[in-house]
Amino acid sequence: MTDVGLAGVDIVDAHTHPYRLEDLLAKESEGFDTRMMFLGESFHSSSRVHDDLWPVADGFTDSTVFGIALRRWLAAHLDCEPSRDAVTRARDAALRADPVAYTKGLLDAAGVVAILSDEGFPQPPILAEEFASTIGATVHRVTRLEPWILHHRDGSFDDLVAGVEAEATQAAADPNCLAYKSIVAYRTGLDVGDPSSSDAEAGFARWRDDGWAETREHAKPVRDFLIRRALAIAKANDRPFHFHCGGGDPDINLAYAGPASIFPLLVDVQDQPVVLVHSGYPWVREAAYVASVLPNVYLELSELIPWGWGQVEWALEMLVGTVPAAKLLYGSDEAGEPEAFWASALLVRSTLERVLGRFVERDYVSTDEAERLGRLVLGDACRRLHGFGTT
């Protein structure tokens, strides 16, 4: 295997969720590994998972490859026996001795230097400055459309539109607010239409009369109208727009969550940069097609990484071999456990080295070119798109 060395490359994590230090410390270390699995994460973020199923999810962690790799790698990092009990105890001791130093140690060991923090979850928002002091790394903001809709829908339709537009405009005044995001895939679906103002206003009245039920008949024209407005403000303020695209926790509107659903909107707004967060996972090949045919569509790699663990090798080979690497943004979807930054970063770095090494062996690219592509995926593509410094 040809050596492609990415060991010294700084990583930018393009999709994470902030957490509070006291919330991290309030959780027991027991089950932290299950909380990091796709099965376990949903108990935290979804309103549809039955809490009494936690022992079922927890019982599967030791037969999940990600769970096993996490235990083995963390045992090496913490210098303890690679048993679940020993790792949990060593993790608890290290975390409680100095939680910021523990987290910073994980980030440093994985080479993660900066992250983008999705402020939409959890609510109420945790400020970038607070999260930066919690993890000891640079934190950039991604602001979220849907909480603004919730906060401004108690008055008239015009109040709602004005309120959302004011929030979006105000967010752009902060130079550290690098992008907007929508999770309409969790609400009325990614097949965003182009309703007129009067259609949206009529939908608003029906939505309110319906007790704010999240239906495609009533809520959808309002949400679609506001997405179009927010996209226009993002474009005017030179900010990329992120859409959750793909599966998620069980709250997802799965029938309208994939790249094919959002494709007509992406064609409409093709003059401005849009990031498909999660690369449409599990529909990553559809997302690869979309990003390879529309110039301003970018893909963020979380969910595939780390939860599609055994798919990461072939998916990265497929994505890096199909989509320009300057459109591929590494991300972890960390959501409350500091080890998530670290395990995902270790996985992407080692996998990319192997994938790019194979491209060199096949005489597609030189070693130097392979390393340049690797640097793009690990951080340079994210920096370029969002306009913050290269290191």
DSSP code for 377 = I
Closest residue to Zn ion, based on beta-carbon distance:
333
Contact, 325 vs 369, CB < 8 A? no
- As measured in angstroms, the least distance from the Cβ of 17 to Zn ion is 6
**CA–CA distance, 381 with 96 (Å, rounded to integer):** 35
**By CB under 5 A, residue 119 contacts Zn ion:** no
Question: Applying CB under 5 A, which part among 6-14, 122-130, 170-178, 328-336 lies near Zn ion?
Answer: 328-336
- As measured in angstroms, the least distance from the Cβ of 309 to Zn ion is 17
Closest CA to 136 of 288, 273, 341: 341
- As measured in angstroms, the least distance from the Cβ of 12 to Zn ion is 16
Which amino acid is it at 71? Answer: R
Count of helices and strands (H, E) across the chain: 18, 8
- Cβ closest to Zn ion, residue 183 vs residue 234: 183
Question: Applying CB under 5 A, which part among 98-106, 257-265, 315-323, 331-339 lies near Zn ion?
Answer: 331-339
**By CB under 5 A, residue 33 contacts Zn ion:** no
Contact, 278 vs 328, CB < 8 A? no
Question: Applying CB under 5 A, which part among 34-42, 308-316, 332-340, 348-356 lies near Zn ion?
Answer: 332-340
- As measured in angstroms, the least distance from the Cβ of 303 to Zn ion is 8
DSSP code for 338 = T
Residue position matching structure tokens 């970063």: 345
Question: Applying CB under 5 A, which part among 214-222, 234-242, 318-326, 333-341 lies near Zn ion?
Answer: 333-341
- As measured in angstroms, the least distance from the Cβ of 76 to Zn ion is 28
- Cβ closest to Zn ion, residue 122 vs residue 324: 122
- As measured in angstroms, the least distance from the Cβ of 239 to Zn ion is 18
**How far is C-alpha 368 from the chain's CA centre?**
29
Closest CA to 83 of 63, 62, 57: 62
**By CB under 5 A, residue 300 contacts Zn ion:** no
- Cβ closest to Zn ion, residue 70 vs residue 116: 116
- Cβ closest to Zn ion, residue 201 vs residue 333: 333
Most distant CA pair in the chain, distance: 65
**By CB under 5 A, residue 333 contacts Zn ion:** yes
DSSP code for 5 = -
- As measured in angstroms, the least distance from the Cβ of 118 to Zn ion is 6
**How far is C-alpha 134 from the chain's CA centre?**
19
Closest CA to 63 of 32, 90, 29, 39: 39
Outline where 257-329 has alpha helix (H). 259-268, 284-293, 312-322
**Number of residues binding to Zn ion, judged by CB under 5 A:** 1
- Cβ closest to Zn ion, residue 88 vs residue 134: 134
> Footprint of Zn ion on this chain (CB under 5 A)?
333
